[in-house]
Amino acid sequence: MAFSVNFPLFSIVLCLLCAVVSSLLPSKAARAVSIALCAALAAGAACLASYGVSVGKATEYLMGHYPHPWGNELRFGVLEPLLVSVFAVVMLLCLIGGKRYLAADLDPEKSNLYYVMCDLVLVSLTALSYTNDLFTGYVFIEICTIASCGILMIRQLGRTTLASVRYMIFSLIGSGLFLLGLILLYAVTGHLLMPNVKESVAALWAEGRYRTVLLMSMALITVGLGVKSGLFPFHFWMPDTYGYATPSSGGILSGLVSKGYILLLIRIVYGAFGTDIFYRSGISNVLFVFGACGVIVGSISAAREKDVSRMVAYSSAAQIGYIYLGIGLSPGMGVLASLFHILTHALTKPLLFLSAAELASCAGSRQRAVWRGAGHINRVAGFAFSVGAFSMIGIPLTMGFVSKYRFALAAFERPLLMIPTLIVLAVSTVLNGLYFIRVVVAIYLPPERRTDRVRITDHPAYAVCAIAFTAMNLAAGIAALPIVRLLESSLTLL
């Protein structure tokens, strides 16, 4: 067993320690600790992913001296460390890119607490990705809920506090449902560790015992995680939450936190319910329907919106809809498309939020109406926003194109769902085109008044972050095949 299998344990403990230490440090040091932590986590997880590829099987890592079903465990193949690494990189770039706004939005006395919360978000994402135990999942879901609410409400405007309350309420509804589902599952299987749960569920399903309880618990867990990540009928908190948070937090919340819940759902579907039973139970079809509705409703709401940050936030609702649509489609290709879309969205949304904030500060407002010519004033932000917008529309050479292509491919596997999927894809692409291209066109129209151009060197932190995000997006969009292959092979290890 290679030494790198210890990295998940070390990264979780390191995050917890950093969070606790940061509460004692001044804000600058806390910021440095957070950034270093993200970098270390990304590097460790990348090592672990390459180890996973070379071994070709998933590792079960005991948290203590007792194997399942007695003690807690972690479990990781390729997918989990890969996503953790992406999460850490995105968080790093968010923290770097939003530096200017963090300085403005945070109360200087409390700004170290922001980084404490960031560390805690990171630890919960890591633990949610690695855990092999459902109840540990619940505990870290709650840490994630409180910590993400923390990075939201640290900007102490009335509107942001209100947004935090609504976010918190929906999150708590989601975790309440998840908890009840978990208890029901435990009541009939007697296990909490995913491999054992899977065995018992398969046995009970074959015997036909406790059918209602099993269905109910699957439904509750799925709906709970769906509510927390903003699936269609419960997406109303999104525009306020993402739109009024400080841009770094908006990026982290939309790009990472919701993805952590979705990843946990995928792992539970594969590891605890078993794909056979989950896709035979009909819950996947419900997910498909709600996902499709989410895509359409999110896109229409975004098209109505005049405030660009809120528009980008509504577009998140549509992207979450895509991901659930893929999960609902089929266990192989559909989930693969969803995983790729998770990557796309995680790399695109933070870029859009940060660039929108940057352009808004050039234009003086977040209303689209006054953005005319902002792309000439701040060229980096204009370019980055355009790339992000193209990726969300699904224009070739960007990641968004690849994920839409994978969704279309996955649709062909399910003849019955093929036509609706393609219609949803087409309609939402047109709507996305409408509202994103409008903004892109507006920022490249000749400006109405002459303003000094913003140079790259004026905001180097943002420039670094924007260039890194755009480069990753274009690289992954052009050379998508290896990534898709990697995800495909990692799905077999789940």
Partner 1 sequence: MENFWQQLWNARIAVAAMTLFAVGFVTLLLHRNLLKKIIGLNIMETAAYLLLTSLGFIEGRLSPIVLGENTDPLLYVNPLPAGLVLTGIVVSVSVTAVMLALTVRLYARYHSLNLDDIYAMAQREHGVN
Partner 2 sequence: MKRKKSIKERLREWDADAFDLTERTAGPMHPAPAAPEEEKPEEPPAPERETRLGSRALRILYSVLAALFGTVMLSFLLATASELPPYGAAENPVHNAVSERYIRDGMRETGAVNIVAGVILDYRAFDTLGESHVLFTALTAVLILLLGEGVHRESTGQIRMQQDRIVTNTASVLTPIIILFGVYGILTGHLGPGGGFSGGSIVGAGLILHSVAFGYDRLGRYLNIKTFRIVCFAALAFYSLSKCYSFFCGANGLHTVFSPGVPGRILSAGLILPLNIAVGVVVACTMYGLFSVFQRGKI
CA distance 422 to 425: 5
Q: Closer to partner 1 by CB, 6 or 161: give it.
A: 161
Q: Hey, how many other C-beta atoms are within 10 angstroms of the C-beta on 239?
A: 24
Q: Which stretch binds partner 2 (CB under 8 A): 31-39, 62-70, 286-294, 319-327?
A: 62-70
Instruction: Say whether residue 213 binds partner 2 (CB under 8 A).
Output: yes
CA distance 403 to 343: 9
Instruction: Say whether residue 186 binds partner 1 (CB under 8 A).
Output: yes
Instruction: Say whether residue 259 binds partner 2 (CB under 8 A).
Output: no
Instruction: Say whether residue 104 binds partner 1 (CB under 8 A).
Output: no
Output phi, psi for 133, to 5 deg.
Answer: -125, 130
Q: 252-281: b or e for each residue (b if 16 or more CB lie within 10 Å)?
A: bbbbbbbbbbbbbbbbbbbbbbbbebbbeb
Instruction: Say whether residue 183 binds partner 1 (CB under 8 A).
Output: yes
Place of tokens 């099987």: 57
Instruction: Say whether residue 20 binds partner 1 (CB under 8 A).
Output: no
Binding partner at 162 among partner 1, partner 2, none, C-beta below 5 to 8 Å by kind: partner 1
Least Å distance between CB 18 and partner 1? 20
Least Å distance between CB 325 and partner 2? 22
Restricted to residues 364-423, the positions that interact with partner 2 (CB under 8 A) are 367, 372
Least Å distance between CB 63 and partner 2? 4
Site mask for partner 1 (CB under 8 A), range 244-263, x = bound:
x-------------------
Binding partner at 383 among partner 1, partner 2, none, C-beta below 5 to 8 Å by kind: none
Instruction: Say whether residue 135 binds partner 1 (CB under 8 A).
Output: yes
Q: Pick from 26, 176, 364, 396: which binds partner 1 (CB under 8 A)?
A: 176
Binding partner at 159 among partner 1, partner 2, none, C-beta below 5 to 8 Å by kind: partner 1
CA distance 433 to 442: 14
Least Å distance between CB 223 and partner 2? 11
Q: Which stretch binds partner 2 (CB under 8 A): 9-17, 82-90, 254-262, 414-422?
A: 9-17
Q: Pick from 46, 93, 120, 269: which binds partner 2 (CB under 8 A)?
A: 120
Show Cβ contacts of residue 314 under 8 Å, excluding neighbours closer than 6 positions.
238, 239, 298, 299, 301, 302, 305
Restricted to residues 441-460, the positions that interact with partner 2 (CB under 8 A) are 441-442, 445-446
Show Cβ contacts of residue 223 under 8 Å, excluding neighbours closer than 6 positions.
174, 177
Q: Closer to partner 2 by CB, 13 or 471: give it.
A: 13
- Report the chain's C-alpha Rg in angstroms: 22
CA distances to 342, 371, 402 from 349, in Å:
11, 19, 16
Binding partner at 226 among partner 2, partner 1, none, C-beta below 5 to 8 Å by kind: none
Instruction: Say whether residue 308 binds partner 1 (CB under 8 A).
Output: no
Q: Closer to partner 1 by CB, 192 or 494: give it.
A: 192
Report the greatest alpha carbon distance in the chain.
Answer: 75
Handedness of CA 199, 200, 205, 207 (dihedral sign): positive
Place of tokens 């102490």: 156
Task: Count the site residues for partner 1 by CB under 8 A.
Answer: 30
Site mask for partner 1 (CB under 8 A), range 204-243, x = bound:
----------------------------------------
Q: Pick from 78, 147, 362, 381: which binds partner 2 (CB under 8 A)?
A: 147
Instruction: Say whether residue 80 binds partner 2 (CB under 8 A).
Output: no
Q: Pick from 38, 307, 378, 402: which binds partner 2 (CB under 8 A)?
A: 307
Q: Pick from 111, 164, 299, 301: which binds partner 1 (CB under 8 A)?
A: 164
Q: Pick from 28, 57, 110, 159: which binds partner 1 (CB under 8 A)?
A: 159
Binding partner at 322 among partner 1, partner 2, none, C-beta below 5 to 8 Å by kind: none
Restricted to residues 314-343, the positions that interact with partner 2 (CB under 8 A) are none
Least Å distance between CB 23 and partner 2? 6
275-79-171-185 Cα dihedral, nearest 10 degrees: 40
Q: Pick from 2, 103, 187, 423: which binds partner 1 (CB under 8 A)?
A: 187
Q: Which parts of this chain interact with partner 1 (CB under 8 A)?
A: 135, 138-139, 142, 145-146, 149, 153, 156-159, 161-162, 164-166, 168-169, 172-173, 176-177, 179-180, 183, 186-187, 192, 244
